[in-house]
Structure formats: structure tokens, C-alpha cells
Structure 1
């Protein structure tokens, strides 16, 4: 397909991409793969958090998401406060100008409609609202593809998220609780579909171990401080999480098990360092990963995975490795249930090392059954994602002779 002018279709991708979160970048990689297959004529660029990293890794032009470079730093001085305030105004015009240059804008996956981690309304929620409002005003369809959502307590954040969803031209979710959350916020979700997370569309690495080769245990950790409504108790939540996870790793080492620590974001490094220092054993090592592919290779080489971050779980499940979730949000529970391992969840807010060890041993006892279940569920996930991409192509890239991308559309 080409745009109405006869030039190649212009596609923008948007989000906190290239900012150190491997899950976000994996979602981008999946959408870029889809575009290469289905729309090889597309000219793609990004409005994102880490433009230099996105350009270097994926070879597409990228623009900084916020005009003010200190957007995600706490503003304590008058100059910083003024800079942030001015940035909000400048970003209105920057975002509208960027959106206007495109035929379609895609927000690839990510938890853009949730606040399960600490989040200020005038940060990313405001940026997403500007994007969706600009899309509606300029006639450029904005598609929220395979995104995550969750109930939001903060009124300002909830309002921005609700209107972002309402203004989007296309919505799909990575799990049923996400769709339910948006419906509860007053968004009409009757035409919205649920599909597996976009990361399930990424290539699966070859098995890293054979049944007769002893493997190690991967433990995926996170700089976890609770959600957006837990700011007052964030320090205590983090202390309990770290102490419980450290005790669990120490118990594995005392059983003679090798442990490989995994992360999913640059901010997780201090947690790894704390566990390495506390356990102080050559049996505990830390993986260096730069992509979901790296994470999948690590999990494929393991006997078992115990992980917190959502996309650590996806990588382990996609690799077919028996997995136990340190669950911090409904999305983790829903993912594990969808993949047939719903019994193997443990609350990240209250890590009980003894109970976690019991669940871990039960999972290892049933490892063969778990691997068979995961093989079946992974095949189903690939099939369902193929259906999503077919629907997405029809929605965003209609056949020649249909309404051009920039023609007026009815408001839903």
C-alpha cells in the first residue's frame, strides 16, 4: 500500500523505547518484524525515550519523546520546575507535528494503560494523551497494539489514560484483565480484541540444554517498590522483596544449585549486586542481557525459572522452561494462567522464602508436564498473534480504493 499521495506509507512508532527496558524494546522488535513482512514499503520512524539507542539498534530515525531532557528526574529547583512546565507546552506542538507527518502511528505493546509501577500523570500518561489527541485532530490513526492496562487509583492518571484509549483509532490488549480494566474506566471495549503479548511473535531460540545435561536455575529480579498507590510504603515493600528473594537464592545454593540472576531493566542492577553480595557464592552469577533474545537464550538453558518482571516470565515461558512467577500485578497471574501454569505464582509483595521453595520443588517435580503444556500453549499463542496481525493490517492498511488514512473518520 502507498499513501494517498502515491509515496510509501509512513508509519510512526511511539513509546518508552530504547530507555533500558528490554520488554518495551522487544515489543518494538515484534512490530518492526510485522511491518517488514506485511508492509515492506513502509517508512518507519520513532518518537521515543531513547532515540539514539533505537536508531543504533533498529536502524530507524528517532526523535526524543520529551522536549525537556530532565523529564523523569525529580524537579526540586525553580529552573527545573519551569523547564518541565515549559516542556509540557512545547510537547503539545512537537507531538502534533510528528503525528501529522505519518499515515499511521503504532504504540507497540507495553503497559501504557496501567500504573502497576510508580508513575506520575504528567510524565508518560500525558505524552500518550497528546499522541492520541493529535491523532484524532490530524486524522492520523493511532493504534494501541497488544497493550497492557490495569485499574488506576490516581484520578489525573486515570483520566489521561481513559481519554487516550477513547481517542485511539484501534485498541487490542495482551490479556483479558487489561480489557476489563479499560471497560471499568468507561471505555467502550466491545470491538477490542485480546491477543498474546507481542513478544510471543519473536523467534524462539534453540533449546539451550538437553534432558541429560544438568541445568541451573534462573532467578529474574526487579527493582520492585510496589505500584503507583504504594509510594508511602515503597521502601518497606522493597525491603521485604529483596530479603525474601535473597533467602530463596541462598536456600538454592545450600542445596548445591547454580543460580543465574536475570534483569529486565537497567534499574534492576542494584538488586543483583545486593543479592550477589549477600549470598557470596561462586554458584551465583549474573547474566548480561541486551535484548529479549538474550533473555530467552538464558532461560532456555535453565532447568527452571523463577522471575518477577513480566517479560522475564514471557521469555521463560516462550522458551518452554518450567516457570514460577513472583507476581507483582494481575498481568503476571493472567499470563501464567493463560500458559497453563497458574498454580505457580507467588506474591512479590510478600516473598515467603520457605513457601516459595515449596512451590519451586513442586514445579520441578512436575517439570515434564509443564514443558508439554508450554509447548502446546506456545503454538496457540503464535496462531493467535497471526490473527491479530491480520486484523491489524485490515484496520490500519486498508486495500486500495478504501478510505485514505487522512480522510475524516467518525468519532467512536
Structure 2
């Protein structure tokens, strides 16, 4: 049988995609780009949080992740609680049936094995467990690709995450911190590699850095309420974060600096609005962003960036803009160190506007040096993401005449021209 006679590989993509988080959608976009370039004959669809958005934006068929449409809303009545419970049972059959239709299912990046933000065990951790268990039973390959992980306090969540990781066919992590956290939960990660976040493979907008030393500052805001184990202090944590960020933005505006507030999730919009209202300055505006490409354009036009949400940091670092991380977990610290800015982290839980302003001035004083460092580190990071995609092909996709020919070609023919 020739390669032309073989049935195309059926690939499913699974996750909280199309649900308002730009980072999640950026990971989806990265994997679709990889599949289009390396496996153009693959038949691709998704099981995700926002199927209508995914279909309209990316042009692939999509199925709703949960049968019950109110899955991620608080159940405040007996009827809704019963509907949620019924949905859990229905989703067992729905997920298994969807998985069986595929040869490969990819979970693209994102923090699917972590609880650095509030997360209930019977939400996405349960959905991920159903996916991985269904894959094992139906012999469909399930790949957790460049995912994030963290220490998990909740026993139920930890159990679901541990078994999801164990049952997956392929795992890779977006950093050693994530891999070590999953290993500490009892998963053998000795054969698992670490790679940068998948969104580093996305195109980078071309832009010259602002020449004006008083140029605009991007401040990435976030609906931050602490982690999963801090629910009792959630409002206190959020108030400290909001007050500290507002004080910092006010100081910039009073110094005559234009400030662009950017968001990475629909949940962040009220935070941006609250800061805008509190500062009440024409120098402070809110950027309209619908994708990571939009975020990168905003950050490429900025003199400096200060941001909390993880994929806001990724975007800022990718375009080479000097950045301070309002760090809420070790993944942010690890990312900043990887790109050479490890000293420019500030705790999101304890923002001190005066100290943050001092760090900001130090950052801007080393702007030219930091831009050179970021340019150098981004070359290395981009190559590592290419390595990730090559490893994924080797692990999941059967060889064809085309891929065999590539593998047998002289090494110099495959090497990128400098």
C-alpha cells in the first residue's frame, strides 16, 4: 500500500480552548501550525470549552467538552447540582466515544497538571482523567505536550492529575519545575523531556523598540485571587494585588508615562476597568486584544512591560521587551530565568508599589542590554520548540514515505540555513 492509499491520521485536540483564555488558544494555534506544516493530511477536530469559537476562528470541527453547559458556573440550586452530577456520568460516555474516533489526541500546552489558580477536582481535572483513561482503554495515543504542573494540596485533585499523567502515552513539560512537581506526585517522569512553552513557536510581529525613553508601558493585569489552596484568603489576596497594581499605574501616570492595560483572559477585564477608574488619567488606556498576536503587538510597541498572567509574560519576552514579572508561581520565576531576566520578579501576592517602581527604573536603565539578552535567548528557545515538535512526530505519528525520505536525507539538507 502506498502512502497515498493510507487513511489519514485522525488527530483530536483537547482542552479549555476557545473559552476566553488567550494563552490556551495560543497553544492551540501553535499545535495547529505544527500539524499544518508537518502533517498536512491529518484530519483534525477538537473537544474543548468553546467549540463555536474554535470552529469559527480556526476552521476545525469542535465538540463541547462538557455535556452540562453550566459546568463552570456555581451550582446554587438542587436542580443545577443534579444536572452537574448527571453531566459527570454522561461525559464518561461522550469522552470515550470521542476518543475512540481518533488515532492521536493532543493536549496542547497550558497548565493542565497544576493548581496555581483556583480549580475544582470535578472540573477540568476530571475531564482530563476521562480523556487519558479513555485513551488507554481504546488504544488511542494521548499526548500531554509541554504542559505545566505544580504541587497540589487537594487530595482528590492530586489523585486525578496523577492518574491522568500516568495514563498518557506521551508527556513533556514546559520546565523542570513542572516535571519535578509531577514526579513528586508519584509519576515516573525519568523519560520525560522539558521544552519551552509552545507559544514561542508563533510568529513574532516585527516592530522597532520605542526610541522615546518616556515611551509607553504595558501593564498586564489579572483577576488574581491566589492559588487553589488559598481560597480562604482569596479576597484579601486580590485586594492586595489590585491595590498594589493600581498604585504602580498611578505613579507611572503621574510621572507622565502612557500606560496600556492588557488582559489575557476575559476574567481580567473587570480588573483593568477598576484600575482605569481608580487612576482616572488620560494617559491610562485599556488595549483591546483578541489573540496572543494582539498582545504581542501591544508589547512590542512598549518601552517596558510589567505583567502577572503567564502568557502575558511569554508574549512580552518573545517580542524582546524588557519585562518585570508579577510572579504568582514558580513557573513565572522559571520562565524569567530561562530568558535571562530572573532578577526582575516581584511577588504578586505582596505588591509594594514603591519597591516595584524602583525595580522598574532599574529595568529601564538596563533596557538596551536586556533587549540583546532576550534576542539571544529567543533563538535558543525557538529551536527547542522545534525539537519538541520533532519529538512529538517521532512518538505519535506513523512514518510515511515523506517522513522516511526526510529522515534519510543528508543532515546538511535538513539543517536550517544560517
Superposition TM-score tier, normalisation by shorter sequence: over 0.9
Match of 2:309 in 1: 309
In the alignment, is the contact (CA less than 8 A) between 1:195 and 1:385 conserved in 2?
yes
- Provide the rounded CA distance (Å) in 2 between the counterparts of 1:206 and 1:2: 43
Deviation at 1:399, TM superposition (A): 1.5
Structure 2, unaligned runs of 5 or more: 402-418
CA distance in 1 between counterparts of 2:34 and 2:42 reads 11
Check if 1:372 corresponds to 2:363: no
SS at structure 1 position matched to 2:303: strand
Contact 1:3 / 1:103 at 8 angstroms: preserved in 2? no
Is 1:123 paired with 2:119? Answer: no
* Distance of 1:131 and 1:174 partners within structure 2: 21
Is residue 330 of structure 2 the alignment partner of residue 322 of structure 1?
Answer: no
Name the CA distance, whole Å, in 1 between partners of 2:212 and 2:399: 52
1:333 aligned partner: 333
Task: Kindly report which structure 2 residues correspond to 1:13-412, keeping only aligned pairs within 5 A, or say none.
Answer: 13-211=13-211, 215-400=215-400
Distance in 2, Cα, partners of 1:345 & 1:256: 24
Structure 1 gap segments, 5+ residues each:
402-412
Shift of 1:210: 4.4
Helix, strand or coil for the counterpart of 1:324? strand
RMSD: 1.5
In the TM superposition, structure 1's runs of 4+ consecutive aligned residues that sit over 2 Å from their partners are 1-6, 208-215
**Do the aligned partners of 2:210 and 2:302 also contact (CA within 8 Å) in 1?**
no
Q: TM-score, normalised by structure 1?
A: 0.95
Q: Is the 8 A contact 2:307 2:324 kept in 1?
A: yes
- In structure 2, relative to structure 1, the CA distance for the partners of 1:86 and 1:13 (3 Å cut) is same
Normalising by structure 2, we get a TM-score of: 0.94
Q: How many residues align?
A: 401
The separation in 2 between residues aligned to 1:2 and 1:212, in whole angstroms, is 60
Aligned residues of 1:344 and 1:359 also touching (Cα < 8 A): yes
3-state secondary structure, aligned to 2:134: helix
Q: Secondary structure at the match of 1:191?
A: coil
Residues 398 and 37 (structure 1), Cα distance of their counterparts in 2 relative to 1, 3 Å cut? same
Distance 1:116 1:131, change over 3 A: same
Shift of 1:223: 0.3
Contact 2:213 2:303 in 1 (8 A): no
> Residues of 2 paired with 1:254 and 1:211: CA distance?
21
